[in-house]
Amino acid sequence: MKTETLPVTVSDLRYLKGVGPKRAQALERLGIASIRDLLFFFPRRYEDRSHFALISEVQPEQTVSVRGEILSVKLKPIRRLRLIEMIVGDSSDMIHAVWFNQPYLKKTFQEGQQVILYGKVELYKNRLQISAPEYEVIESGEEAIHTGRITPIYPLTEGLFQRSLRATLHDIVETHLDREITEYLPQILLDEKKLMGLREAAREMHFPTSPEILAQARHRIVFDEFLVFQMILLRKMERLKAKYQAHTLSIGAETLQRFQATLPFKLTADQDKVLGDLLLDLNQTVPMNRLLQGDVGSGKTLVAAFGLLWAAQNKLQAVLLVPTEILAEQHYKTLSKLLEPFGIPVGLLTSSTPAAKRERMLAEIKNNKLHVMVGTHALLQEDVTFHSLALVVIDEQHKFGVYQRAQLFNRNPRPHQLVMTATPIPRTLAFTTYGDLAISTIKELPSGRLPIKTYWITRKKQDKVLEHILEKIGQGEQAYFIFPLIEETEKIDLLAAEKEYQRLRLGVFKDIRVGLVHGRMTKEQRDPVMDAFRRGEIQVLVATSVIEVGVDHPNATMLVVENADRFGLAQLHQMRGRIGRGHKASECFIFGEPSTDEGRRRLRIFANTQDGFEIAEEDLKLRGFGDFLGTRQSGEPYFRVGNPIEDEALLREARQTALELMRQQALEKDPAWKGFHAHLEAIAVHY
């Protein structure tokens, strides 16, 4: 049976020329289960092997393509190795090519054949030579696949090899592409966006005819990826609106005025704007799905407090979910103070809550006697039963699993959701990861906040820094020394933090109190130290990763970060957010000696940049989209070809197209979009 007549099934790959059962299994590890999958398995890069050099002009250390006649082929035993040596000549000169331990090549090459070689030239025994070059024997009128062209380089896995995979793809493109790939975008859009046809684009992506046409093909494929992704996000939002209803929260203007009047300061314009967003969302039957992003110390919790108050005044329930006990305790104290004028008690539930108190609290939650809760993962336990949950505020959502969060939302009426993050979202991520959330931003810091001066310090100046900190402590200020833990080296890092604690306590800070907190301490060990630091009884706190985002201590004005070169820009910015939260000038000192240019650039950007949004953009550029975002649970990246950083303009264009299609309901009403609708349905199951 010929491969061309096979029906399209998962088993196709085994019967393809050059594949077989073992390579089919290897391809499945790359997510390729059918011929169509293989046709959309595009190269990761290309090498331009299309320009042939005259052998007489070739220089050592160059990577070149040469074409000539095979003048001789010999198999030479050298000690335990078997060497194939071939001499190729063109009209200008000769060059040697050698392969070790590939004796079968003796039968591949014959004198008089035309051959293309591609590889790095070296000078060996005063002659030009290419070791283990890519090669291709060219019959008269035959098209080159591996050399003499812009050559595709594919991602590989164990059991796959570049040359054989390329040959398989060439055969499939020639024999299956026209049948397997059907255009699904309507001609009117192709014309409007000046997009290449899908079949031509797929063909050019595999075996491009020129760099210019390859760029057009990539443009088409990337636009498709972005359009599909944006459509899936927008349809997800539509389904959510159709499937669930939320509690409508009504509140009078006087409550908002009274809330603002209880504050010891005036809200910023950004906070006012976000409160307006909440007023609109919470008064709807459509569940709110909003992301509130704001730089460290910008006052997000205050905005969230109003939402919690709003729910409680409607005799409904609201929770603030936070990742750590330290943060939960801090938010509990802050919210209790803010909601006290309204007579609204706040509950705190963590893994450290005593059993008797927990049982009493669970009963109050179930009977709707407790309307505002703050807690950690303890709020997600199965025995926590809410009577009428109307609002869920999540601080740093990425620290909670999808299944964990779903426990709060899988109910009807569905709670409104407000996600808060102190890690500003780069624009490109806002269009992708958070595309199904409405986004509110607080950029403006509360009045009176001073910029934090940041210094990248060498070890030679360490003693001067410590003397400066000691002088500031003498003026009543306090300092953090942070040793963030890296999971792989946690024991080593912890020892380093403890050693530094002893060195500081017995050395330069011997006349003041120095405290130590780290993640392995129990709550009973840690809380007295933190409380003493808050009260000013401890002047220097040596800490590891337990000093989390949101820990608020206005009198802490100095921060020292050890081994700063081991951390990303966003992490460093979060650490710096532990200071500068009062009205005093604050200083951050980072110690780090990066061994790479990228590491040095990272610390230079950090030292010179205060704006968290700017830092987020730079961090994304440095780390790349894949590393910044991670991958989906299936292990596949969001985009196979597109890069939201490099292709941001195209991402925006696809977003606008998707919004217009949703507004017009084009996929449901216009027959021209029938093909894309079917394509979208097939793709959506993977997201």
pLDDT of 634 > 70? The answer is: no
pLDDT of 142 > 80? The answer is: no
115 three-class SS: strand
> Angle between the 253-261 and 300-313 helix axes, to the nearest 10 degrees?
130
State both tokens at 20.
Answer: 């077989």
**Residue range 430-434: average pLDDT?**
70
**Residue range 303-332: average pLDDT?**
91
- pLDDT band for 10, please (50, 70, 90 cuts): very low
pLDDT at residue 12, as a whole number: 66
pLDDT of 426 > 90? The answer is: no
pLDDT at residue 396, as a whole number: 74
Lowest-confidence region among 220-229, 252-261, 656-665, 666-675:
252-261
pLDDT of 633 > 50? The answer is: no
pLDDT in tens, 373-416: 999 989 988 889 999 999 999 987 656 655 566 678 878 899 99
Domain covering 253-283+298-421 assigned CATH 3.40.50.300 in the classification = yes
State both tokens at 343.
Answer: 């007579």
Among 96-110, 414-428, 492-506, name the most confident range. 96-110
Tokens 């030479």 correspond to: 76
Q: CA distances (Å), 14 to each of 30, 160, 164, in order?
A: 15, 14, 14
Average of per-residue pLDDT values in the chain: 86
pLDDT of 515 > 50? The answer is: yes
pLDDT at residue 266, as a whole number: 85
Q: How far apart are the first and last CA of the chain?
A: 36
pLDDT at residue 471, as a whole number: 94
Q: Alpha-carbon distance 111 to 376, whole Å?
A: 76
51-148 and 253-283+298-421 have identical folds: no
State both tokens at 456.
Answer: 């990248």
pLDDT of 493 > 70? The answer is: no
**Residue range 203-207: average pLDDT?**
97
- pLDDT band for 180, please (50, 70, 90 cuts): very high
List CB contacts of 535: < 8 A, sequence separation 6 or more.
Answer: none
Q: Are 92 and 53 in contact (CB under 8 A)?
A: no
pLDDT of 200 > 90? The answer is: yes
pLDDT at residue 211, as a whole number: 94
Question: Quick one: 663 exposed, middle or buried, by C-beta within 10 A (0-12, 13-18, 19+)?
Answer: exposed
pLDDT of 52 > 70? The answer is: yes
In percent, the amount of the chain with pLDDT more than 70 equals 90
- pLDDT band for 131, please (50, 70, 90 cuts): very high
Element (H or E) spanning 301, and its range?
Answer: helix 300-313
CB burial of 489-506 (b: ≥16 within 10 Å; e: otherwise) equals eeeebbebbeebbeebbe
**Residue range 60-84: average pLDDT?**
91
Tokens 């039968």 correspond to: 107
Nearest Cα residue to 637 out of 648, 626, 623: 626
pLDDT at residue 584, as a whole number: 85
Nearest Cα residue to 654 out of 289, 237, 219, 239: 219
pLDDT in tens, 218-249: 999 999 999 998 998 888 888 878 888 999 99
pLDDT in tens, 270-298: 999 999 899 899 999 999 989 898 877 78
Q: Which CATH number fits domain 452-609: 3.30.930.10, 3.30.365.10, 3.40.50.300, 3.40.50.2300?
A: 3.40.50.300
- Comparing 105 with 488, the larger pLDDT belongs to 105
Q: Are 418 and 292 in contact (CB under 8 A)?
A: yes
The DSSP code sequence of 574-631 is: HHHTTS--SSS-EEEEEE---SSHHHHHHHHHHHH---HHHHHHHHHHHHHHHHHH--
- pLDDT band for 95, please (50, 70, 90 cuts): very high
Q: Are 442 and 613 in contact (CB under 8 A)?
A: no
**Residue range 183-210: average pLDDT?**
96
Amino acid at 302: L
In the beta sheet, which residues pair with residue 416? Answer: 391
In the beta sheet, which residues pair with residue 98? Answer: 85, 131
pLDDT in tens, 148-166: 899 999 988 888 888 889 9
422 three-class SS: coil
pLDDT in tens, 530-545: 889 988 999 999 987 6
Q: Alpha-carbon distance 55 to 271, whole Å?
A: 70
What CATH architecture applies to the domain 51-148? Beta Barrel (2.40)
- pLDDT band for 614, please (50, 70, 90 cuts): confident
Question: Quick one: 572 exposed, middle or buried, by C-beta within 10 A (0-12, 13-18, 19+)?
Answer: buried
pLDDT at residue 217, as a whole number: 98
Domain boundaries, the chain: 51-148, 205-244+644-684, 253-283+298-421, 452-609
Tokens 């996600």 correspond to: 419
Q: pTM for the complete prediction? A: 0.71
pLDDT at residue 301, as a whole number: 87
Q: Alpha-carbon distance 618 to 94, whole Å?
A: 50
**Residue range 550-575: average pLDDT?**
83
Lowest-confidence region among 518-532, 538-552, 611-625, 648-662:
538-552
pLDDT at residue 639, as a whole number: 84
List CB contacts of 187: < 8 A, sequence separation 6 or more.
Answer: 672
Lowest-confidence region among 26-30, 469-473, 671-675:
26-30
